[in-house]
Amino acid sequence: MYQQLAWILTVVLVFALAVVFLTIARKTARRVDYQPIQEKGYRIRKYWFISLVSVMVIATFFSLRDLPYHDATAAAATGAKVVNVEGYQFYWKLSQEEFYVGEPVQFNVTSMDVNHGFGLYDENMQLLAQTQAMPGYTNVVDFTFTKPGKYQILCLEYCSVGHHVMVKEIVVKEKGGASDGQN
Amino acid sequence: MAKTETTYPISRATKKGVVGHLAVAATVLILMMAFGIIMLFNQGGLITISPDLFYSIMTVHGIGMVGMASLGGAAIMWYFLCKYVPLNPKVLMTNLVLSVIGIAMILIAAFVFKFSDAWTFLYPLPSVSAKQHGMAGAMFFLNGVLFVGVGFLIMYLEIGRKIAKQYGGLMNGLGWDMLFGKSDKHYGPPAAVVASTMVVICNSTAILAGATVIIMSIINILNPSIVFDALLAKHLTYAFGHIFANATIYMAVVGVYEILAKYADRPWKANKVFLIAWNFSTLFTLMIYTHHLLMDFAVPKWMLLIGQIFSYANGLPVMVVTAYGALMIVYRSGLRWDMASGLMFLAMFGWVGGAVPAIIDATIVVNHVMHNTKWVPGHFHIYMGLGVTIMIIAFMYYYNKVEGNRRDHSWDRISAAFYTVFFLGLTGSFLYAGKISAPRRWAVHLPEWMLSDIVGGISACFVLAATISFTLRFFANVKYTRTANTTEEMVHDTTSLMKKSS
Helix (H, G, I), strand (E, B) or coil at B464: helix
Give yes or no for B276 touching A (CB within 8 A): no
CA-based nearest distance B105→chain A, Å: 20
Give yes or no for B328 touching A (CB within 8 A): yes
Q: How far is CA A174 from CA A75, A178, B73, in A?
A: 21, 6, 57
Count CB atoms within 10 A of the CB of residue B499. Answer: 9
Mutate to test the interface with A, among B312, B421, B502 (most CBs of A within 10 A): B312
- Which CATH number does the domain A72-173 belong to among 1.20.272.10, 3.40.50.300, 2.60.40.420, 2.70.70.10? 2.60.40.420
Q: Do B120 and A158 touch (CB under 8 A)?
A: yes
Residues 6+ apart with CB under 8 A from B362: B288, B291, B294, B307, B308, B311, B312
Q: How many CB pairs under 8 A join A and B?
A: 213
Q: How far is CA A33 from CA A26, B268, B436, in A?
A: 17, 15, 50
CA-based nearest distance A171→chain B, Å: 20
CATH number for the domain formed by residue range(s) B17-497 = 1.20.210.10
Going from the first residue of chain B to its last (502 residues), give the mean pLDDT of each consecutive group of 10, the final group possibly shorter. Answer: 71 94 97 98 97 98 97 98 96 97 97 96 95 93 97 98 96 94 87 97 97 97 95 96 96 97 94 95 94 93 92 92 95 94 97 95 95 96 97 97 87 96 98 97 97 98 98 85 47 47 44
Give yes or no for B309 touching A (CB within 8 A): yes
Radius of gyration of chain A (CA): 24
CA-based nearest distance A36→chain B, Å: 11
Q: From A69, which residue of chain B is nearest by alpha-carbon distance?
A: B297
Q: From B449, which residue of chain A is nearest by alpha-carbon distance?
A: A125
* DSSP notation for B208-250: HHHHHHHHHHHHHHH-TTS---HHHHHHHHHHHHHHHHHHHHH
- How high is the pLDDT of residue B6? 82
For residues A93 and A80, give the distance between their C-alpha atoms in angstroms, rounded to a whole number.
19
Q: From B328, which residue of chain A is nearest by alpha-carbon distance?
A: A41
For residues B237 and B231, give the distance between their C-alpha atoms in angstroms, rounded to a whole number.
10
Q: What angle do CA B15, B10, B341 make, to 5 degrees?
A: 75
Complex confidence, ipTM? 0.93
Give yes or no for A127 touching B (CB within 8 A): yes
pLDDT at A178 over 60: no
| Cis peptide, bond prior to residue B377, ω within 30 of zero | no
Q: What are phi and psi of B269, to 5 degrees?
A: -95, 155
With contacts defined as CB-CB under 8 Å, which chain A residues touch B45?
none
Give yes or no for B365 touching A (CB within 8 A): yes
Radius of gyration of chain B (CA): 22
| Cis peptide, bond prior to residue A90, ω within 30 of zero | yes
Helix (H, G, I), strand (E, B) or coil at B469: helix
pLDDT over 90 percentage in chain A? 85
Q: What are phi and psi of A108, to 5 degrees?
A: -95, 105
With contacts defined as CB-CB under 8 Å, which chain A residues touch B446?
125
Q: Which pLDDT band, with edges at 50, 70 and 90, does A73 fall under?
A: confident
Q: Which of B296, B301, B437 shows the shortest C-beta gap to A125?
A: B437
Q: Do B297 and A38 touch (CB under 8 A)?
A: no
Specify whether the backbone of B405 is left (phi greater than 0), alpha (psi in -120 to 50) or beta.
Answer: left
Helix (H, G, I), strand (E, B) or coil at A146: coil
CB contacts under 8 A, B 445-464 vs A, are 446, 448
Domain extent listing, chain B: 17-497
Q: Which of B120, B357, B372 shows the shortest C-beta gap to A117?
A: B372
Q: Do A67 and B230 touch (CB under 8 A)?
A: no
Q: How far is CA B154 from CA B20, B93, B148, B370, in A?
A: 17, 11, 10, 38
Q: Do A37 and B361 touch (CB under 8 A)?
A: no
**What average pLDDT does range A76-102 have in this prediction?**
93
- How high is the pLDDT of residue B194? 97
CB contacts under 8 A, A 37-66 vs B, are 37-38, 41, 45, 48-49, 52-53, 56, 59-60, 63-64, 66
Nearest Cα residue to B214 out of B240, B189, B176:
B240
With contacts defined as CB-CB under 8 Å, which chain A residues touch B217?
none
